[in-house]
Amino acid sequence: MIGLPAYLILGALVFSIGLFGVLTRRNAVGILLGIELMLNAVNINLVAFARFNGDVAGLVFTLFTISITVAEVAVGLAIVIAIFRVRRTVEADRLDLLRG
Amino acid sequence: MTLPPAAWHAIEAFIVLNALLVLVAYVTLLERKFAARMQSRIGPYYVGRPHGWLQPIADALKLMMKEDIVPTASDRWVYNLAPIVFLLPCLLIFATIPFAPDLGVADLNIGVLFFLAVSSLEIVGLFMGGWGSNNKYALLSAMRAVNQIISYDLPFIFAALVPVLLAGSMQMSAIVAAQQGLWFVAYPVVGQLAFLAFLVATLAAENRVPFDILEAESELVAGFRVEYSGMKFALIQLGEYAHMLGTSFLGALLFLGGWLGPGPAALGPVWFLTKAILIFLVVTWVRWSFVRIRVDQILAISWKLLLPATLALLLATGLVVAMRGPGGA
Amino acid sequence: MSAFTLELGLGAVMVLVFGGSLTSRGADRRWIAWLATAGILTLGIVSALVKPTPPALSGMFVLDGLAIFAKRLFLAATFIGLLAGIGADAVACGRRAGEYHLLILSSLLGMLVLASARDLILLFVAFELMSIPLYVLAGFLKGQDEAVEAALKFFLVGSVSSAVMAYGLSFVYGAARTTDLARVAQAFAPGQPLLLLGLLAVFAGFAFKIAAFPFHMWVPDTYEAASTPFVAWLSVAPKAAGFVALFRVYFEGMGDRVATWVPIAAGLAAITIVAGNLMALPQQNAKRLLAYSGIAHIGYMLVGFAAASASGTAMVLFYLVAYVFGNMGAFLVVEAVARSERSEATAALRGLAQRSPLLALAMLLFLLSLGGIPFVAGFWAKLYVFWAAAAAGLYWLVLLGAVLTVVALFYYLIVAKRMYIEAPDASAGRIRLPGTLALAVILCALVVVGLGLYPKPIVMAALRVAAPLF
Amino acid sequence: MTLETVGFWVVATVLLASSLAVVLTPNLFHAVLYLAAALVATAGVFLLLEQPFLFAVQLLLYAGGVVTIVVFAIMLTERLVGERIAQTSRHVVNGAIVAAAVFVGIVGFLIGAPLGAPRPAGTVDTTAAIGRALVGPFAVTLELLGVLLVVALLGALYFARSEE
């Protein structure tokens, strides 16, 4: 039988991988993908806890995080497209008009 | 015989899958014959004389033996995988469709939602193909597809939720059972409107005429599959027809009472198939009667007409159900 | 009155603004701005009448003293921010006025709910409702490179922090087996490492929202690139909301276990004060200067948080009031000058005393308040916060804060020197500012002076609302 | 080995492999496809935890929604630039160290936690329970989410439309 710790460690791994992506990617969309992975880890955690605690609130929470993520992604990509219109780049470290 | 349930499921799925593939093959023949009739032609005739009964098999053989071309500039890995990724969800949607009471792979209690969720994955394969081909037309087609599918997913889901609300369940068999007295298509006002919206959204979601801008032969040659040939082309074609057929089955289940009909219960699957084919023929009829409309018109229809209308319809249905009180039909 | 009076009222204002922006065409939509401002003013008056009610929604939504105090503060800040925006040219009154005000109002709705949320899910949703409009507003001048770029940075950092926060919340939920904060506190007993892990991660998320030191990098860029009336509001209202939520999560019902947070909060306060003040020193752009000094102020408030006591919490609340008006006022003066000079550099303030004595006087008051000089609001704020920290035994933190207050005075006084001692540029004429902006500045100045001379009522109110948390 | 154990290891392997691929592949489009795989694998995790409703929502919103939006953005941006965007990484070593440290930290907390409780018997129908919770205690939260979605739509529209 697979226990709760296995799911939590799976979540932690996905979270760390996502964090790695956020830290290392230069491209804004690439960073966004890392954030998606991190949020995915949140959902794994929530569902696993809800299942093992026998509680419905975690499942509701998951629904909310999923919906909020989609909203966030939509806004973020709209910003990416807007920045493309003016700058023609989404490399995060070429965005250096503002500094220091 | 004592096989574990998982094995039974596997066998069942295998049978359904193969029956389905045959059905899909013959649905293409049906469409060609039907289209021919509408245009006063005969259609396929010679292979399997007198009415081209062997035509689908001949087509399949031909496609299998054709040369498989992979464009040099393509994103090889994505290009090769795309047809499979496209086909898989199209076949998976049949998993929750019961063909008669207790005759189906899995009658999940979230059946309708499962259908909608899995069929939304089809798009991944679509843009894999459009992107992987590294072809201008293919890419344009994939972009149009994304546009269109984002726009029509919601009306489609809302329309499909009307019967769910009326029946008070997402389980397919429960929805059919709730239509025992009255098919939902005959339900006063909301039923007809929802069915109409469902049909329109189906046309768009399946990229059928008049919403077929993403394969518009005159502009984009053949859309996202322009580079595909041989077996891969066949897989994509198979996927499209399977999806179309699956949606027809869904429509028959949600609105036309599924396997309900006069005669003994054993006739159920026959009724069901008939109704599904009927929906399929309506879609085909539209295909051969209408002209293609422009991209902006397609989007306007969705966002300014269909989406608000289906939303209002869903609200109205909620009111109807609330006034009717719980449990009653 | 129901527990949701203010939220419902705000919803009504939002519907009005939305409907209004749908029915009107044209480039001048000043009346939408007026509509929104009037709506917020009405709500502010209503909020004066709101009384605490028993928790609604099975304890998820509380309207206690703390929530009411916070909501009044949010409404006041939003009122001043909107009022100042009315005179602004393209952003708040142009073709997109409807969008602009709807975004601000919906962010405000998030804050109002956040102040009352005692349930993890509601808290998270309210937090996101507060944040997402801010990302859009930061890039509202979307034709400009810097604005969209700042919006992207703000968005990326904000989303990461939301993800970290949600991850933390998932552990809190898992360990406490409930999303009700009151019961989370009960579950927070020794032997619950997961709850600790969760609260730590949530703390990191909060630290971003209030822009504490290592999580501050979005602040200067966003402040510099976005329109100033919005920035004035952004620099105070979401921060205040973040602090109120912080109190809810970490103090409410925790009993004597609040001590767990003291070292973390004290450390964060220390580095935030040091980093904010030191980075503010070399700034030549007035908005960036205020951005970094704002980071330092967050550090001072964290000192009060680190005190982890009723008086510490109350003093942070008082500090928030002083900071809201002082900081907004300073930003608005910068806006007024920038509108006539087209420059946000501190150099543009040169000789302001001769060009517009009243504006210069107001700016001086705000700077003194931010710097912590007696007889303006900021003095009492700093004093009380240090007092509470000393009472909790954090002497080293008080000392550090006091030393860096002197550093801060240095850069505030440089600005004052520019205004009063240096001669104006030959080209610079008198500064004319729209009546609404002048009114907003005057309101801020009055509050800053009033609180400096007679802080007692607000202090007593803060103490009253903070007491039940412990 | 029960079916569940096998399923867990298969899903976990797919999830981790595709997650790694998301952050390592230089091709942005491939990264999105790997993300789709990771999201579907996560849906598989939900299925293992007997939550078919969340499985469907995950597919519908995440794999169907998020991936579609991201692909659309990539296609649009690349068409604006007219070239394939290679995506590069920086500070790989530092990033790896930080990520590993975070992971070790989390596991450190997990080890000390009392998590031995066995999995309780599954409730019959969590879908209905979720529905009741959504319109019951969480009704106001749901309303707030509605406002949030509208606002996000408004914001996305504001950026996406070109006026100049």
Question: How far apart, in whole angstroms, are the C-alpha atoms of residue B21 and residue B12?
Answer: 14
| C315 vs C433, residue with greater confidence | C315
pLDDT of residue A46: 93
How many CB pairs lie under 8 A apart between chains A and D?
Answer: 232
Residue D33 contacts B, CB cutoff 8 Å: yes
Q: Are C401 and C273 spatial neighbours (Cβ–Cβ below 8 Å)?
A: yes
Cis peptide before B50 (omega within 30 of 0): yes
Q: Is B329 within a domain?
A: no
Which of the 8 DSSP states describes residue A97? S
| C404 vs A85, residue with greater confidence | C404
Question: How far apart, in whole angstroms, are the C-alpha atoms of residue C402 and residue C241?
Answer: 26
Find the CB nearest D56 among B113, B131, B147. Answer: B113
Residue A44 identity (one-letter amino acid): I
Q: Are C437 and C335 spatial neighbours (Cβ–Cβ below 8 Å)?
A: yes
Which of the 8 DSSP states describes residue B141? H
Chain C residue closest in CA terms to A8: C171
Could you tell me the two tokens for A77?
């990509």
pLDDT classification of C253: cutoffs 50, 70, 90:
low
Burial of residue C362 (CB within 10 Å: 0-12, 13-18, 19+) is buried
Which of the 8 DSSP states describes residue D119? P
pLDDT of residue B1: 47
Residue from C62, C108, C137, C142 whose CB has the most chain D CBs within 10 Å, to mutate: C142
- In this predicted model, what pLDDT tens digit does every residue of C455-467 receive, in sequence order? 888 888 888 888 8
Helix axes D28-48, B76-92, angle to 10 degrees: 30
Same domain, D11 and D49: yes
Question: How far apart, in whole angstroms, are the C-alpha atoms of residue C283 and residue C408?
Answer: 12
Looking at the structure of chain B, the number of domains it has is: 1
- The arithmetic mean of pLDDT across residues D131-154, rounded, is 90
Examine chains C and B and say if they touch (3+ CB pairs below 8 A).
no
**Does the pLDDT at position D5 exceed 70?**
yes
pLDDT of residue A92: 55
In DSSP terms, B100 is beta-bridged to B103
Identify all chain D residues contacting A44, using CB atoms and an 8 Å cutoff.
Answer: 42, 45
Residue from D40, D45, D124 whose CB has the most chain A CBs within 10 Å, to mutate: D45
Residue D67 contacts B, CB cutoff 8 Å: yes
**Does the pLDDT at position C52 exceed 70?**
yes
Looking at the structure of chain D, the number of domains it has is: 2
Q: Are C269 and C306 spatial neighbours (Cβ–Cβ below 8 Å)?
A: yes
Q: Is B33 within a domain?
A: yes
**Does the pLDDT at position A97 exceed 50?**
no
Residue A66 contacts C, CB cutoff 8 Å: no
Chains contacting B (3+ CB pairs below 8 angstroms): D
Could you tell me the two tokens for B313?
């319809």
**In angstroms, how far is the first alpha carbon of chain C from the final one?**
27
Find the CB nearest D16 among A13, A69, A85. Answer: A13
Question: How far apart, in whole angstroms, are the C-alpha atoms of residue B151 and residue B306?
Answer: 10
**Which segment of B14-28, C82-96, C308-322, D88-102 scores lowest on mean pLDDT?**
C82-96
Question: How far apart, in whole angstroms, are the C-alpha atoms of residue C293 and residue C57?
Answer: 40
Q: Are C204 and C215 spatial neighbours (Cβ–Cβ below 8 Å)?
A: yes
Range of the domain at D81: 1-112
**Does the pLDDT at position C306 exceed 60?**
yes
Q: For the domain that residue D16 is a member of, what is the CATH number?
A: 1.20.120.1200
- In this predicted model, what pLDDT tens digit does every residue of B240-258 receive, in sequence order? 888 888 888 888 888 888 7
pLDDT of residue D148: 94
**Which segment of A91-95, B168-172, C450-454 scores lowest on mean pLDDT?**
A91-95
Residue A17 Cα, gap to closest chain C Cα (Å):
13
Which ipTM did the prediction report? 0.90
Same domain, D95 and D24: yes
pLDDT of residue D149: 93
Question: How far apart, in whole angstroms, are the C-alpha atoms of residue D10 and residue D18?
Answer: 12
Find the CB nearest B109 among D30, D79, D125. Answer: D125
Contact call for D147 and C109, based on CB within 8 A:
yes
Q: What percent of chain B has pLDDT over 90?
A: 1
Winning range, highest mean pLDDT, from A9-13, B231-235, C56-60, C256-260? A9-13
Could you tell me the two tokens for B166?
């009326």
Range of the domain at B48: 5-324
Look at the block and give the residue holding tokens 């969008």. Answer: C99
- The arithmetic mean of pLDDT across residues A79-100, rounded, is 64
Which of the 8 DSSP states describes residue D117? P
Contact call for D73 and A81, based on CB within 8 A:
yes
**Does the pLDDT at position A98 exceed 70?**
no
pLDDT of residue A45: 92
**Does the pLDDT at position A100 exceed 50?**
no
Find the CB nearest C132 among D115, D137, D151. Answer: D151
| C32 vs C77, residue with greater confidence | C77
Same domain, D94 and D47: yes
Same domain, D62 and D132: no
**Which segment of B81-90, C37-46, C373-382 scores lowest on mean pLDDT?**
C373-382
Same domain, D87 and D66: yes
pLDDT classification of B321: cutoffs 50, 70, 90:
confident
- In this predicted model, what pLDDT tens digit does every residue of A28-59 receive, in sequence order? 888 899 999 999 999 999 999 888 888 888 89
In DSSP terms, B103 is beta-bridged to B100
Same domain, D86 and D126: no
pLDDT of residue B218: 62
Residue D105 Cα, gap to closest chain C Cα (Å):
9
- The arithmetic mean of pLDDT across residues B278-282, rounded, is 88
Same domain, D162 and D107: no
- In this predicted model, what pLDDT tens digit does every residue of C115-125 receive, in sequence order? 998 889 999 99
pLDDT of residue D119: 73
Question: How far apart, in whole angstroms, are the C-alpha atoms of residue C266 and residue C395?
Answer: 11
Contact call for A98 and C221, based on CB within 8 A:
yes
Q: Is B57 within a domain?
A: yes
Q: Is D117 within a domain?
A: no
Contact call for A42 and C167, based on CB within 8 A:
yes
Contact call for D36 and B153, based on CB within 8 A:
no
pLDDT of residue C92: 65
pLDDT of residue C128: 93
Find the CB nearest D3 among B6, B142, B150. Answer: B6
Find the CB nearest D113 among C58, C143, C194. Answer: C194
- In this predicted model, what pLDDT tens digit does every residue of D40-70 receive, in sequence order? 999 999 988 888 888 888 988 887 788 888 8
* Average confidence score pLDDT of chain C: 85
pLDDT of residue B269: 82
Helix (H, G, I), strand (E, B) or coil at D86: strand
Same domain, D67 and D127: no
Interfacial B residues in 35-74 facing D (CB < 8 Å): none
Helix (H, G, I), strand (E, B) or coil at D49: coil
Q: What percent of chain C has pLDDT over 90?
A: 14
Question: How far apart, in whole angstroms, are the C-alpha atoms of residue B49 and residue B70?
Answer: 36
Could you tell me the two tokens for B171?
């389980």
Helix residue ranges per DSSP H, C377-455 = 377-391, 395-420, 435-453
Residue from A8, A15, A20 whose CB has the most chain D CBs within 10 Å, to mutate: A20
Chain D residue closest in CA terms to A67: D61
pLDDT classification of D75: cutoffs 50, 70, 90:
confident
Contact call for D152 and A13, based on CB within 8 A:
no
Q: Which element (helix H / strand E) includes C55?
A: strand C53-56
Could you tell me the two tokens for B100?
């008669």
- In this predicted model, what pLDDT tens digit does every residue of B59-111 receive, in sequence order? 888 888 887 777 777 777 888 888 888 888 888 888 888 877 766 667 777 88
pLDDT of residue A99: 41
The length of chain B is: 329
CATH for A4-91 is: 1.10.287.3510
Find the CB nearest A54 among D88, D94, D123. Answer: D123
pLDDT classification of C85: cutoffs 50, 70, 90:
confident
Contact call for D158 and C60, based on CB within 8 A:
no
Question: How far apart, in whole angstroms, are the C-alpha atoms of residue C191 and residue C67?
Answer: 32
